[in-house]
């Protein structure tokens, strides 16, 4: 553990010598002063007002050791013990962070304790009748002591905060892995991990997957929307968005920052127990975007392309369906075949209405009738069978692979 060490170089010591008698009085009165300083800190800093047990013990130890460091500076004997004392304050700063207290509360305690200690010790100096130069030298040493312990405490607080953030990130990644696993996660396991990850389980979630260069993400991880669970090292990179349907424009902008213009797909909103489904659908959509089957522009919403995702869930079966259902068209040359496919799909979607088909294709109704006669010769009675019609719609509407 690296902690700040006392500045014990010759240039740091006051030029005015401290009388030996004063140093002995200060050391003899250390315990009584420590008790009063602790009481004053508890009185003026609310966060420490009811510190009991281990926390209260650390407060008392911290006060005693800070005063010890001050007296050691006065006597010039702090070279060996200073490291241990500042290490104590480094630990105190870390304990403060881990206890969920703010650094400001700790700094307030140091200021209050330092000022009160100086007032008490200053009275001792006055009682001995020391001159103003000695009092000034004592003030310099008191300031130096407060600075050293505050510096050590701040360093400990910062180190613990970083450790805590690292642990929090690990817990959130484990939670994300649990939610996106192949097996449905048990609700009690999700709740337990969520508590440790400081994450509130929402009613619904959606998974976003996006294309990204791995090196770019490793060097500079993108910011994530508030509450999102992110794993940029997964392939494809992903994030789980809580309550996607209620996300406001601010969250939308944060998501745009995360994506940085990369093609992405967001799965349908589902209950947390079904998050793996949202991931699977979003991943499929991203692959279809990369192949040009779905539009490759901005953030694609799976909810707008469910039929395409469904059809491409089993592509060999889709290819077999297309081949079987459209086999009669294979006997027609390429150019008229394309016109017949277009007319057949429009006619089916318009419920067999010739005028509706003509309007949809922007052609004359007589042209539609002519093409329908050709289709009738190719398909025969099957053209009027409901099951065949459904297969034809699926086969004709499914975008073919480029």
3-class secondary structure per residue, the chain: CCCCCCCCCHHHCCCCCCCHHHHHHHHHCHHHHHHHHHHHHHHHCHHHCCCCHHHHHHHHHHHHHHHHHHHHHHHCCCCCCHHHHHHHHHHHHHHHHHCCCCHHHHHHHHHHHHHHHHHHHHHHHHHCCCCHHHHHHHHHHHHHHHHHHHHHHHHHHHHHHHHHHHHHHHHHHHHHHHHCCCCCCCHHHHHHHHHHCCCCCCCCEEEEEECCCHHHHHHCCCCCCCCCEEECCCCCCEEEEECHHHCCHHHHHHHHHHHCCCCEEECCCECHHHHHHHHHHHHHHHHHHHCCCCCCCCEEEHHHCHHHHHHCCCHHHHHHHHHHHCHHHHHCCHHHHHHHHHHHHHHHHCCCCHHHHHHHHCCCHHHHHHHHHHHHHHHHHHHHCHHHHHHHHHHHHCCCCC
pLDDT of residue 10: 38
* Sites in the chain below the pLDDT cut of 50: 1-11, 14, 214-215, 250, 401-402
Our CA dihedral for 261, 262, 265, 271, rounded to 10 degrees, sits at -80
Q: Map tokens 């030996």 to a residue.
A: 20
Size of the chain in residues: 402
Beta partners for residue 265, in sequence order = 209, 300
Q: Are 357 and 343 in contact (CB under 8 A)?
A: yes
pLDDT of residue 251: 55
Phi, psi of 197 (to 5 degrees): -95, 5
CATH class of 315-397: mainly alpha
**Residue 168: both structure tokens together:** 């929090």
User: Which CATH fold topology does 10-167 show?
Assistant: Globin-like (1.10.490)
Q: Smallest Cα–Cα separation from 68: which of 35, 33, 30?
A: 30
How far is it, in rounded angstroms, from Cα 218 to Cα 150?
35
Q: Degrees (nearest 5) of the Cα angle 215, 217, 222?
A: 160
pLDDT in tens, 188-232: 888 888 888 888 899 999 999 988 664 455 555 556 677 888 888
pLDDT in tens, 260-304: 778 889 999 999 999 999 999 999 999 999 888 898 878 899 998
Distances (CA, A) of 236 to 204, 213, 231, 382: 22, 10, 9, 44
User: Which CATH fold topology does 202-311 show?
Assistant: Alpha-Beta Plaits (3.30.70)
pLDDT of residue 402: 43
Domain residue ranges of the chain, discontinuous segments joined by +: 10-167, 202-311, 315-397
């Amino acid at each position: 553990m690296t902690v700040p060490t006392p500045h014990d170089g010759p240039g740091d010591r006051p030029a005015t010598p401290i009388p030996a008698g004063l140093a002995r009085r200060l050391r003899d009165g250390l315990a009584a002063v420590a008790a009063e300083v602790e009481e004053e800190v508890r009185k003026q800093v609310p966060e420490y007002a009811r510190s009991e047990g281990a926390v209260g013990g650390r407060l008392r130890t911290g006060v005693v050791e800070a005063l010890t460091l001050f007296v050691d500076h006065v006597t010039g004997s702090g070279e060996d013990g200073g490291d241990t004392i500042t290490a104590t304050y480094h630990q105190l700063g870390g304990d403060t962070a881990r206890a969920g207290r703010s650094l400001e509360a700790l700094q307030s305690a140091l200021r209050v304790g330092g000022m009160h200690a100086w007032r008490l010790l200053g009275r001792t100096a006055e009682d001995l009748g020391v001159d103003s130069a000695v009092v000034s030298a004592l003030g310099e040493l008191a300031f130096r002591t407060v600075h050293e312990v505050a510096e050590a405490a701040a360093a400990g607080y910062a180190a613990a905060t970083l450790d805590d953030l690292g642990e929090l990130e690990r817990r959130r990644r484990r939670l994300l892995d649990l939610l996106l696993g192949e097996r449905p996660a048990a609700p009690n396991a999700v709740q337990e991990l969520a508590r440790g990850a400081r994450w509130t389980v929402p009613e619904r979630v959606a998974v976003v997957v996006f294309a990204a260069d791995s090196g770019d993400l490793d060097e500079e991880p993108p910011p994530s929307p508030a509450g999102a669970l992110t794993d940029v090292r997964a392939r494809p990179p992903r994030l789980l968005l809580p309550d996607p349907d209620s996300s406001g424009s601010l969250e939308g902008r944060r998501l745009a920052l995360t994506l940085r213009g990369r093609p992405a797909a967001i799965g349908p909103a589902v209950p947390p127990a079904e998050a793996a489904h949202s991931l699977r659908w979003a991943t499929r959509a991203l692959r279809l975007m990369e192949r040009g089957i779905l539009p490759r522009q901005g953030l694609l919403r799976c909810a707008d392309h469910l039929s395409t995702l469904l059809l491409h869930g089993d592509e060999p079966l889709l290819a077999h369906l297309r081949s079987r259902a459209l086999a009669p068209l294979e006997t027609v040359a390429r150019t008229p075949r394309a016109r017949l496919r277009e007319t057949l799909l429009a006619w089916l979607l318009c419920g067999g209405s010739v005028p509706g088909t003509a309007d949809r294709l922007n052609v004359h109704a007589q042209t539609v009738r002519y093409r329908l006669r050709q289709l009738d010769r190719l398909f025969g009675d099957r053209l009027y069978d409901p099951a065949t019609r459904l297969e034809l719609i699926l086969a004709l509407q499914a975008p073919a692979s480029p």
